[in-house]
Structure 1
Amino acid sequence: MRALLLGLILSAASLPCLAQTVLKSEPLVLAPYEIALVQDASCPAGKVLKVTGAIRGLHRRKACVSLAAERASLAAVAP
């Protein structure tokens, strides 16, 4: 019974860590290799703009990705 209760508590605490907010506009400041998901009109319906920060002097990487696929890949990486 304790193991079940402990498992429920740990899973409830770890689920908010997997969530990533979809922003309305691209952030001005983005740390190198940090990822931001942006709801943008340049991407087709059902997709969001994935913006990856870059080191000084390089351009940010931008790509339209499926939101479901992106959340699945984030869940696979999380401990």
Structure 2
Amino acid sequence: MAREAGCTPQQIATITGHSLKTVMLILERYLARTRGLAEQAIFNFEHSPRTKFANRLQTSTAKATGRKEKRDAKQ
């Protein structure tokens, strides 16, 4: 339940007193792969500062490449 609430394995280990290795084994065995977890993971990925930076780079590169291709097509 802590994982589904958004806690990291490190936070769960701190709360429960388990080692990080044990928490990972417990999560691997018992954590259901639910739609809620998938949606949370996608949300986290889309809103990560690193992802936003990477998306800006890809968008800038795609725009620059698209402009170059248009210029080449006109010539």
More helix by share: 2
More strand by share: 1
TM-score class, shorter-chain normalisation, is under 0.3
**TM-score when scaled to structure 2?**
0.26
- Look at both structures and tell me which one has the larger radius of gyration over its CA atoms: 2
